[in-house]
Structure 1
Amino acid sequence: MKAVIMAGGEGTRLRPLTSGIPKPMVPVMNKPVVEYAINLLKKHQITDIAITTYYLSNYIMDYLGDGSKYDVNIDYFIEETPLGTGGSVLNTGEFLDGTILILSGDVLTDIDLTKAINYHKQKGSKATLILKRETNPLEYGIVIIDENGRIQRFLEKPSWGEVFSDTINTGIYILEKEVFHYYNKGDSFDFSKDLFPRLLKDNIPMFGYVTNEYWNDIGDINSYKQTHFDILDGKVKIDFGARKISDGVYIDEDSIIYDDCRLVPPVYIGKNCTIKSGVLIDAYTIIGNNCTIDETSSLKRTIVWDNCHIGHSVQSRASILCNKVVVKNNVNLYEDSVIGSESLISSNVTINPGIKIWPYKKIKEETVVNNNLVWGTKIAKTLFGNRDISGEINIDITPEFSSLLGSAYANLVKKDKPIIISCDDTNASKAIKNSILSGALSSGVKIIDIENIMLPITRHAIRFYNASGGIHVSLDVYEKNKIHIEFLNENGGNIDRNTEKKLEHLYQRQDFERCNSDGINDVVKVYNYTSLYLNSIIELLKNTSKIKSKRPKVLIASNNETNIYLINRLMQSIGCRTIIDYSLIDIEIKDSIINSIKSRVTNEKIFLGYLINENAETLTVIDDKGNIIDSERYLLLSEIMLGRSGNLSKFIVPYTVTNQVDEIGSCYNIEIVRTKSNLSNIINSMLDSKESDSYNQYLLNFDAFSASAIIIDYLLGNNIDLSDLVNEIPKFHTKQKEIYCDSSQRGRIIRQLIEEHKGQNIELFEGIKINLPHGWALVVPDNEKAKFNLYAEGQTEEYAEEICNEVYDRISKLINIT
């Protein structure tokens, strides 16, 4: 048996730890993490090892040499360009002459490789993946296996709605050489994205070996720290070569600890260290080799690399100090701060929580460091919620943070096209928009600022100007200090999850491409784009003469004054008489208010009532009989309108929608296309379609201004009342509930639900959908909050209630099982 260690990673999410060293060389308990992989292989009698490298290869080769100091044989294979995980292994050429074990050089594990190899042989497997249960599987590839361990499906870094198991791919594989025949040496391909799906499609025997042993991907700074804490807690069986002085206290040779020092276990102190009088080394502190800590300093949950000097009266809490850092006297290092190699922190400096300082920086005395050096503010692992980035103004969403977001987005889009930037009419939104604009300009993009407008108008402007994307900023109507930042693609739809992740990673790395003064463009300001937008709506209409002759009365209401102004302007332009109801301004939409507006529509014989939500995407309609049409009923109404036109072949709906959408589709010979229920998937499916009526579906469902005019144009053009169309909407019975659940349990619960309903009629397109004789239930983990969203439909109201309650109770019981 031979092994390949993949050691080409740059470790961008670990910066500044990996500024200047490759990720596999990051030290864990004073040894490069790749060294633990070699020791694990040797422990299981695997001594012929190939190491594939790409980034800063010499660091790895110089340290490990030919492997003789570990009693193994090491060959190196250097990639000139990145070849992907599969391509890098195939690049070893003749080394692959039999069964091969593959693992990453940047994970720490004590998995019993011998057991896994025996499992591979017993199953007659051509490709065995070592799998592990993970409480939060979002950042990993999920692998679904059957009861015999045979692999059924792969999901690469899914959203919560795609989590159908908590069994993740550890990146440790046992492969027979013939599985590589799909590719040639020098080809670029990945195991998970390319090779394994092809093997699965061709029915090649592939199995998953599930282990409960320790495995941790050192992918970011939090997981890096946790790995150390797990070692000190004895959760991983490795030999890190230190003497155990007492319970939980490890001190290596030639270190001097003064008698009045306090060591609170678990702690580890490396070789040749000096810990002076009155120092407190508190729990979960790791100190590297050749370090000195002067009098009365205090370190807790702190990781110190080699050759560091810490002065007297220093306070360090949950910090990381890289190699050769010098910290002078009376310095405060707060939680999650990181100091890059060979940096100097002068006396009386305060490094605030979450601050990252890149290597070779010098911080002057008395400085309070509030921002990252060279770049940035605080780094969040996940910036996006269900649809946007949001947070409190000047707390979560600061001008500095916003400027960096603008730079990150500008580095993702095409530079030969402009980006559209806009915001609502609030001062808070304008301030954040201007900060985003500054960051984007610094990266050399062209910007069109269309000033203070609503989101559907921004989407329209992106298409009109053939832009590469857009950003819209708005203040929350109900939470007055909460800012929303939406990122849009070149079609005007919200960016997809993959682009969100790219944006997050760019922001976290903060190594943006910047331009010089010649590369900074003028900002093109468009002050009256709203007029162009409203005229484009009028040009869509076919029956404006009828509207002007009949002059229908339309009631308008919204919780946003800009919406009221714009729709009033539009309605009057096409010939409607408008009645404005301000009762929703500054008041959350409630049934009593809506019922009051409904009564007004019927009592005053108003043709239609329109209620527009705060971002002008969603329209609630009150017809001439006082029927309130919103949510799913409105979606079905738009299907009927488009179906009656005779031009619609496909109707795009969220996966959560009622089955009655199929009934309407069959009446009008429309194919129903279900997509994942997040906003990006739905909007982009409509905007990407080549069919003009798919764009009309977008206008009806996500552009309230356009929808308001299109509905009136359709009704008067066909001489019908809206209530006639409403009568065509079939009755349906749906229920929805939320189940709050700790994120660490959600993967387990989804897996157990799937196992309990094995052999039954279930779907795994988004969450888990359980089809029952009298209806269905759909369980979808929420991407933003620690909860499940439960949807149910029944043939009757009673069945819907019963199905919803049964699944709710079952999930509640699973949550309570520890």
Structure 2
Amino acid sequence: MQAVIMAGGFGTRLRPLTNNMPKPMVPVVNKPMLDHLISLLKMHNIKEYIMLLFYQSDIIKNYFGDGSAFGVKIDYILPEMDFGTAGAVRLSEEYIKDDFLVISGDVLTDFNLSDFYNFHKEKKTIASISLYSSDNPLQYGIVLTNAENRIVRFLEKPSSSEVFSDTINTGIYYFNKEVFQYIPENENFDFSKDLFPLLLKNDVPLYGFKSKGYWRDVGNLEEYIHSNLDALKGELDYIQARDEKGNCISPTAKIDPKAIIENSIIGDNVVVEKNAEIKNSVIWNNVKVGEKTKILFDVVGMNTEIDANTRINDFVFIGDNCKIGKNVFVSSSIKIWDKKIVNNNAKITRSLIYEDAFFNELFTDSRITGLSNLQVNPEFASKLGSAYGAFIGQNKTVLVGRDIDDISNMIKRSITSGIMSAGVNVNDLQVISIPIMRQELQNGHGMGGIFVRKSPFDKGTTDIIFIDKDGKDLTVSKTKSIERLYFTEEYQRADFFNVGFLKYPERTNEKYKEHFLKTLDVDAIKKKKFKLVIDYSFGITSTIFPNILGEFKCETVSLSAHLDKEKITRDKNEFTTALENFSYVVKSLGYDYGFMLDSGGETIWMTNKDGKVINDDRFLSLVLKLFLMVTPDVKKIGVPVQASGEIDLIAADHGIEVVRVKDSHYAMMAILDNKDVAFVGGTRRGFLFPKYLKATDGMYSIAKILEMLAKADKTIDEIDYLIPRLFMKKVNIPCVKEEKGMIMRKFMEDNTQYEQMLIDGVKLFLNETDTVLCMPDKTRDLIHLNVESNSPGKTEHLLDEYKEKLEKYITK
């Protein structure tokens, strides 16, 4: 039997441990992970390997040679470039005889590969996937199978809201040689993103085998230390490394009799002096630990010396060739890079490489959010700018902008310095709204943009928003590329004569206004002579929108219309008070409408003449109805999956198609790549009109609503009367992150009698009007349950019924 072993990973998340060795060679109980894997393969009579190498390939070749010393045969392939997982395996075709196993060289498992192979042969399929139930499926591909174990749905590394199962793809596959006909040659092609979706699309049978036993993808530093301790406890049935005292200690190590070693792994030629304590830790080869030093739940790299009376707290990861002095204190969750010298009596409270405030990932969608001047500080921002500049490429131009907050200004300037150091030019738009920056990019004025703001939800946090060259949010693949450059630091500074330049463009607001008015029927708005109350939320739009409103001949009363950096972020109580005051003013004045802009100028709230604030879901229905009444030849519109069923009823009345998308700004923008989509509306008061801008712009949304009301010659209350009404109720159900996948899987399995939509979460269609949406929150430990029907009583009953069902799934 043959196996293709993928052993080319960089091990970025394991740094500093992988600075000097490839990830598959990182030791687990004093033996490389890849060595353990070969032991497992031999147990199942798999002895011919094709190893795919890339990063530090010579270390693997020198260790294993041709495999004869290990009782196996090994051929090596070193791809010239990154072809993706499937594309790289395609290079092994000339070696493959028939069915073959594909497995990662950095996975730790004791799965019964013989049972898996028998399943594969029994199904007579060209592709089988080993599956496993995981408490945290977010970082893996999740899979849904039918009663015959045939895979019916596959999603690679879902967001929290996309999780529909806790059954994951382990990255272990059996293939028949026929699979190569589906993999293009010399192209970047991935198993999860490309091959498996292609097989499902072509109705090629793809089966999942639910494996039992131990499996851990050693993907980050915490996983690494836990995998060592698991192996030490004997959780993998073929690894027995524990001695009678519960440790794994190399016979060449020198341990003083008065030293305390508990539940730890000690490598070759390690010296531990008297009264030292090492607990729950992994000590690599050639390390010296001084007397009375304490190491607690840590990893220490090769050739490192730690002097006496030093304390290393938990989750500290020390690279190779470090020298740590006497009486040193190292706080928890610290990384110390290779060859670092720590002087005597030092107190280490931050990583000695860069401030690693984000242990797992930087981005949420296309945004980075962190504590102002703590996580998001000037050093972090400058490094982020350098990584972003390297991603953009030398001699290109990007835009930067900010809100009125002082910390936003500081962070923007730090990012700018980093970008310029990478040889990228910067056009600083200074204090500006996000929609204006998007419009500048859409008009071809930069290869990308970064906007810095104080979070609208938390006064102590800062948002860094990344925008692509077309004005849309960055894709996940691009944010991952920036993240990788940031964490690996594999970017170069420009030569001194290639450093980027800084410019301050002029007439940005004038160009914005010109484009803004060009896409509206200004005369129609003028004729209505609207009376409006506008609340600017103390944001930047107060310096821009009044000049535009003057063109409409509206009578306007402005609220919160000066810049105030202390008030652009509002907590829940502050916002509620502001909304109540705004509503009261509209009602008291008897004006036609009230509009409140968020401080960033992207979304809006609207009231009728009575000061009644329109519900978010109903607002979308009203704006859509208005749009369809005055816009001819509309073919398609887009809305998020959780939008009301009223949208479908309105669309059916006008004979148009509704395209449902994920609940993200990027998904709403991406659907506009389909030229038939004339309008996209969100459920959080954001609207996209592609003839103007393929992103949300609160100022334009107000103007467009006024134009549509004028053209329809109806009030918003009259529009409300024209459209059907459904009744939606929502509740949030607390649950731990680890149970989200299990909850979604059970929810699907228990409701197979209904049509199901799996765009974001799981949406059940009980009949033409009644729906139930169960959707995990992206960041918080809770599940959203949205129920809608054609009567309030029925909605209340369904909400109670499905809330009870979901709560029964929760065990923690």
For each residue in 1:491-549, what CA deviation from the matched residue of structure 2 results, as whole angstroms up to 9, or x when unmatched?
Answer: 222223333333333333232332232222122124763344334323333224x6557
In structure 2, the residue matched to 1:747 is 741
Letter in 2 for 1:119: F
Provide closer, same or farther for how the CA distance between residues 528 and 295 of structure 1 changes in structure 2, counting only shifts above 3 A. farther
Equivalences for residues 779-790 of structure 1 within 5 A: 779-790=774-785
Q: Is the Cα contact below 8 Å between 1:52 and 1:89 reproduced in 2?
A: yes
Residue 324 of structure 1 and its aligned partner are, at CA, apart by 1.1
TM-score, normalising length from structure 2?
Answer: 0.91
Alpha-carbon distance in 1 for matches of 2:335, 2:592: 60
* 134-143 vs 337-346, greater mean Cα deviation: 337-346
In structure 1, the residue matched to 2:647 is 661
Provide closer, same or farther for how the CA distance between residues 206 and 610 of structure 1 changes in structure 2, counting only shifts above 3 A. closer
Q: Is the Cα contact below 8 Å between 2:672 and 2:694 reproduced in 1?
A: no
In structure 1, the residue matched to 2:664 is 678
Residue 35 of structure 1 and its aligned partner are, at CA, apart by 0.5
Letter in 2 for 1:776: T
In structure 2, the residue matched to 1:631 is 616
Alpha-carbon distance in 2 for matches of 1:537, 1:143: 46
Residue 435 of structure 1 and its aligned partner are, at CA, apart by 2.1
In structure 2, the residue matched to 1:165 is 165
Provide closer, same or farther for how the CA distance between residues 576 and 378 of structure 1 changes in structure 2, counting only shifts above 3 A. same
Alpha-carbon distance in 1 for matches of 2:129, 2:417: 47
Provide closer, same or farther for how the CA distance between residues 701 and 340 of structure 1 changes in structure 2, counting only shifts above 3 A. closer
* 171-180 vs 684-693, greater mean Cα deviation: 684-693
For each residue in 1:529-583, what CA deviation from the matched residue of structure 2 results, as whole angstroms up to 9, or x when unmatched?
Answer: 3344334323333224x65576532112243254444433432354322212349
In structure 2, the residue matched to 1:260 is none
In structure 2, the residue matched to 1:648 is 634
Letter in 2 for 1:170: T
Match of 2:606 among 621, 640, 657: 621
Provide closer, same or farther for how the CA distance between residues 598 and 329 of structure 1 changes in structure 2, counting only shifts above 3 A. same
User: Which SS does the other structure have where 2:805 is aligned?
Assistant: helix
Match of 2:689 among 693, 696, 707: 696
Q: Is 1:487 paired with 2:487? A: no
Equivalences for residues 420-499 of structure 1 within 5 A: 420-477=399-456, 479-499=458-478
Q: Is 1:580 paired with 2:558? A: yes
Q: Is the Cα contact below 8 Å between 1:293 and 1:310 reproduced in 2?
A: yes
In structure 1, the residue matched to 2:684 is none
What stretches of structure 2 of length at least 5 have no aligned partner?
A: 562-566, 681-687
Alpha-carbon distance in 2 for matches of 1:378, 1:417: 29
User: Which SS does the other structure have where 1:727 is aligned?
Assistant: helix
Q: Is 1:392 paired with 2:371? A: yes
User: Which SS does the other structure have where 2:463 is aligned?
Assistant: strand
Provide closer, same or farther for how the CA distance between residues 386 and 179 of structure 1 changes in structure 2, counting only shifts above 3 A. closer
Letter in 2 for 1:579: V
Residue 328 of structure 1 and its aligned partner are, at CA, apart by 2.8
* 737-746 vs 402-411, greater mean Cα deviation: 402-411
Match of 2:549 among 571, 581, 597: 571
Q: Is the Cα contact below 8 Å between 2:366 and 2:479 reproduced in 1?
A: no
* 379-388 vs 729-738, greater mean Cα deviation: 379-388
Provide closer, same or farther for how the CA distance between residues 688 and 432 of structure 1 changes in structure 2, counting only shifts above 3 A. farther
Q: Is 1:279 paired with 2:259? A: yes
Alpha-carbon distance in 2 for matches of 1:339, 1:617: 45
Alpha-carbon distance in 1 for matches of 2:256, 2:393: 56
In structure 2, the residue matched to 1:380 is 359
In structure 1, the residue matched to 2:295 is 316
Residue 72 of structure 1 and its aligned partner are, at CA, apart by 2.4
Residue 410 of structure 1 and its aligned partner are, at CA, apart by 2.6
Equivalences for residues 75-224 of structure 1 within 5 A: 75-183=75-183, 189-224=189-224
Q: Is the Cα contact below 8 Å between 2:634 and 2:676 reproduced in 1?
A: no
Alpha-carbon distance in 2 for matches of 1:80, 1:385: 32
Letter in 1 for 2:36: Y
In structure 2, the residue matched to 1:229 is 229
In structure 1, the residue matched to 2:54 is 54
Residue 743 of structure 1 and its aligned partner are, at CA, apart by 0.7
In structure 2, the residue matched to 1:263 is none
Residue 366 of structure 1 and its aligned partner are, at CA, apart by 4.7
In structure 2, the residue matched to 1:768 is 762
Q: Is the Cα contact below 8 Å between 1:627 and 1:723 reproduced in 2?
A: no
Q: Is the Cα contact below 8 Å between 2:232 and 2:241 reproduced in 1?
A: no
Provide closer, same or farther for how the CA distance between residues 21 and 662 of structure 1 changes in structure 2, counting only shifts above 3 A. same
* 551-560 vs 136-145, greater mean Cα deviation: 551-560
Match of 1:812 among 797, 803, 807: 807
* 731-740 vs 703-712, greater mean Cα deviation: 703-712
TM-score, normalising length from structure 1?
Answer: 0.90
Provide closer, same or farther for how the CA distance between residues 730 and 499 of structure 1 changes in structure 2, counting only shifts above 3 A. farther
Alpha-carbon distance in 2 for matches of 1:507, 1:75: 34
Alpha-carbon distance in 2 for matches of 1:414, 1:736: 46
Residue 36 of structure 1 and its aligned partner are, at CA, apart by 0.7
* 687-696 vs 721-730, greater mean Cα deviation: 687-696
Identity percentage over the alignment? 31
User: Which SS does the other structure have where 2:689 is aligned?
Assistant: helix
Residue 612 of structure 1 and its aligned partner are, at CA, apart by 1.5
Alpha-carbon distance in 2 for matches of 1:158, 1:478: 25
User: Which SS does the other structure have where 1:737 is aligned?
Assistant: strand
In structure 2, the residue matched to 1:257 is none
User: Which SS does the other structure have where 2:722 is aligned?
Assistant: coil
* 401-410 vs 690-699, greater mean Cα deviation: 690-699
Q: Is the Cα contact below 8 Å between 2:401 and 2:450 reproduced in 1?
A: yes
User: Which SS does the other structure have where 1:790 is aligned?
Assistant: strand
Q: Is the Cα contact below 8 Å between 2:143 and 2:165 reproduced in 1?
A: yes
Alpha-carbon distance in 2 for matches of 1:184, 1:631: 47
In structure 2, the residue matched to 1:557 is 535
Letter in 2 for 1:750: M
Letter in 1 for 2:652: S
User: Which SS does the other structure have where 2:512 is aligned?
Assistant: helix
User: Which SS does the other structure have where 1:629 is aligned?
Assistant: coil
Residue 606 of structure 1 and its aligned partner are, at CA, apart by 1.3
In structure 2, the residue matched to 1:509 is 488
For each residue in 1:348-387, what CA deviation from the matched residue of structure 2 results, as whole angstroms up to 9, or x when unmatched?
Answer: 4444444333333434445555554554533420333466
Match of 1:601 among 573, 586, 590: 586
Q: Is 1:796 paired with 2:782? A: no
Equivalences for residues 2-21 of structure 1 within 5 A: 2-21=2-21
Letter in 1 for 2:305: V
Q: Is 1:30 paired with 2:9? A: no
For each residue in 1:398-457, what CA deviation from the matched residue of structure 2 results, as whole angstroms up to 9, or x when unmatched?
Answer: 222222322333333354542221111111221222222222222222211111223222
For each residue in 1:714-746, what CA deviation from the matched residue of structure 2 results, as whole angstroms up to 9, or x when unmatched?
Answer: 444554444333333432211111111111111
Residue 227 of structure 1 and its aligned partner are, at CA, apart by 0.5
In structure 1, the residue matched to 2:685 is none
Provide closer, same or farther for how the CA distance between residues 325 and 149 of structure 1 changes in structure 2, counting only shifts above 3 A. same
Letter in 1 for 2:754: Q
In structure 2, the residue matched to 1:245 is 244
Alpha-carbon distance in 2 for matches of 1:198, 1:691: 26
In structure 2, the residue matched to 1:66 is 66
Aligned length in residues = 795
Alpha-carbon distance in 1 for matches of 2:284, 2:249: 10
* 480-489 vs 310-319, greater mean Cα deviation: 310-319
Letter in 2 for 1:439: G
Residue 691 of structure 1 and its aligned partner are, at CA, apart by 6.5
Alpha-carbon distance in 1 for matches of 2:349, 2:547: 47
Q: Is the Cα contact below 8 Å between 1:143 and 1:154 reproduced in 2?
A: yes
Provide closer, same or farther for how the CA distance between residues 151 and 387 of structure 1 changes in structure 2, counting only shifts above 3 A. same
Provide closer, same or farther for how the CA distance between residues 476 and 67 of structure 1 changes in structure 2, counting only shifts above 3 A. closer
Alpha-carbon distance in 2 for matches of 1:314, 1:394: 34
Letter in 2 for 1:553: K
Alpha-carbon distance in 1 for matches of 2:412, 2:674: 27
Letter in 2 for 1:638: V
